[in-house]
């Protein structure tokens, strides 16, 4: 009996939602190597892979190519399985997931270091025009289709199960937000599909709206420009502030952009305005988390406040903010500190673990980082609090800084001009580049290793 039929019977009594929300299966779904792939062709690839999957509960989705990831993701869902999305492809991250979730196998599209005993299924690259047609299929709303893991930037990655119904509801809100950038946006993403932001905007969005995606994941400005040129209008670039800075510094020209969508790290109003002016476009910043998915938006070049998505509720708490939505299994506590404003808007005031008190004085890691980045010659920087207390029982600050033409003493002297001495980061270490992952985040373990390296 086929894996898809087995899954249909298993969830027969549950409310269901279609895998592809737009009924027109002849529409453009993806762009791969210069070729348009229709939604029908995509479904053919999904069904072909689903029939080859082993009987297991979990699929560790390690595909690196966006189209391969999407086919693998949906094939596992069609077979009634759950995608496991490790925070990275590092052996330790994968091993932790494998130990926590037995009854698994791996979906791969390239060479990756895996335990020899782990069963694996190879996902073929996008096919070149298979004419087979498969009708759409429906997925139980209550089915847990993915478990995502936080990036580890604030400690140990945490598991976050996601249902198909929840994904469908949050994707509808993302699609509504992107409508201001044009109908049927043609999306190029620089972020990986495994990360929740990349998953929402480059995997779920084409499944749950009329959007189509470019299957590439370009990193360098010239590659971004070339990939955008392969898309029809309206083009939308899904990226991060880190990549936007690189684009501006390269001074490269881009094809006309209907919009730029960014997330994963704070975007300054100055950077947003510069991007809008340089590329004659609109920059939309999204606010969310692995735990909640996207919950708010703003046009950062013009406004500081965030606008909540419809149905989202925030309740400020002493240790953060409680977030709730009709499609949440339970309210979720985030470390972000917010100030509620009229008309379903809020201002972000930092994070609960970002606030510092040393020697009776208060500051925030975010503000110290901004002051450090404002020093002429500092290209990138990260300030954080050490885990252990010093001899005086104080958790001191540390920093890693990219400043090719400055030494540590010069950086500290400049920082001392605007910062109380108790908050000066010691140690402060100059490095060639910060250990950012593909979304621009800084996993804490990588930061600590860099700080302690000779």
List the CATH number of the domain containing 411: 3.30.300.30
Task: Give yes or no for a contact between 87 and 151, defined as CB atoms under 8 angstroms apart.
Answer: yes
Position 334 in a domain:
no
User: What's the pLDDT at 419?
Assistant: 86
Residues 375 and 290 in one domain: no
Position 293 in a domain:
yes
Residues 286 and 427 in one domain: no
Residues 295 and 375 in one domain: no
User: What's the pLDDT at 453?
Assistant: 85
Q: By three-state DSSP, how is residue 110 classified?
A: coil
Indicate the residue among 282, 303, 324 that finishes a domain.
Answer: 303
Residues 86 and 205 in one domain: yes
User: What's the pLDDT at 423?
Assistant: 86
Position 341 in a domain:
no
Q: Report how far residue 442's alpha carbon sits from residue 351's, in angstroms, rounded to the nearest whole number.
A: 16
Position 316 in a domain:
no
Residues 58 and 167 in one domain: yes
Number of structural domains in the chain = 2
Segments of 109-258 assigned E as strands: 120-122, 138-140, 144-149, 159-163, 186-189, 212-214, 235-239
Indicate the residue among 259, 283, 303 that finishes a domain.
Answer: 303
Position 330 in a domain:
no
Q: Report how far residue 31's alpha carbon sits from residue 190's, in angstroms, rounded to the nearest whole number.
A: 15
User: What's the pLDDT at 1?
Assistant: 44
Residue numbers in the chain where pLDDT is lower than 50: 1
Domain limits for position 35: 3-303
Residues 243 and 155 in one domain: yes
Residues 371 and 294 in one domain: no
Q: Report how far residue 191's alpha carbon sits from residue 189's, in angstroms, rounded to the nearest whole number.
A: 5
Residues 377 and 237 in one domain: no
């Amino acid at each position: 009996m086929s894996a898809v039929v087995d899954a249909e019977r298993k969830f027969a009594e549950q409310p269901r939602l279609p895998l592809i929300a737009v009924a027109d299966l002849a529409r453009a779904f993806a762009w791969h190597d210069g070729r348009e792939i229709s939604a029908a062709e995509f479904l053919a690839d999904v069904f072909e892979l689903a029939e080859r999957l082993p009987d297991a509960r979990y699929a560790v989705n390690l595909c690196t190519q966006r189209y391969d990831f999407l086919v693998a993701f949906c094939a596992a869902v069609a077979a009634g399985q759950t995608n496991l999305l490790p925070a990275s492809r590092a052996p330790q991250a994968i091993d932790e997931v494998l130990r926590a979730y037995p009854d698994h196998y791996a979906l791969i599209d390239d060479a990756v270091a895996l335990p020899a005993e782990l069963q694996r299924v190879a996902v073929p690259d996008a096919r070149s025009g298979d004419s087979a047609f498969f009708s759409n299929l429906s997925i139980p709303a209550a089915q847990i289709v993915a478990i995502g893991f936080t990036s580890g930037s604030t400690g140990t990655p945490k598991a976050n199960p996601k249902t198909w119904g929840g994904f469908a509801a949050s994707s509808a809100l993302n699609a509504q937000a992107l409508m201001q950038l044009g109908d049927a946006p043609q999306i190029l993403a620089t972020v990986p599909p495994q990360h929740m932001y990349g998953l929402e905007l480059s995997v779920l969005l084409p499944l749950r709206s009329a959007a189509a995606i470019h299957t590439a994941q370009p990193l360098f400005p010239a590659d971004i420009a070339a990939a955008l040129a392969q898309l029809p209008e309206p083009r939308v670039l899904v990226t991060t502030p880190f990549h936007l800075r690189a684009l501006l510094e390269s001074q490269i020209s881009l094809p006309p952009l209907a919009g730029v969508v960014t997330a994963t790290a704070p975007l300054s109003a100055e950077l947003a305005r510069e991007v809008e002016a340089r590329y004659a476009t609109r920059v939309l910043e999204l606010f969310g988390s692995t735990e909640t998915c996207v919950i708010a938006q703003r046009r950062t070049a013009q406004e500081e406040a965030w606008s909540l998505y419809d149905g989202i509720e925030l309740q400020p708490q002493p240790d953060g903010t409680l977030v709730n939505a009709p499609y949440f299994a339970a309210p979720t506590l985030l470390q972000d500190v917010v100030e509620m404003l009229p008309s379903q808007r809020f201002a972000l005031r930092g994070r609960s673990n970002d606030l510092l008190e040393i020697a009776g004085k208060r500051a925030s890691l975010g503000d110290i980082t901004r002051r450090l980045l404002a020093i002429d010659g500092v290209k990138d920087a990260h300030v954080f609090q050490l885990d252990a207390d010093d001899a005086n029982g104080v958790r001191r600050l540390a920093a890693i800084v990219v400043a090719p033409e400055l030494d540590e003493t010069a950086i500290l002297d400049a920082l001392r001009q605007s910062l109380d001495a108790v908050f000066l980061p010691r140690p402060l270490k100059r490095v060639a580049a910060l250990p950012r992952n593909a979304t621009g985040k800084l996993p804490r373990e990588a930061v600590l290793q860099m700080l302690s390296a000779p």
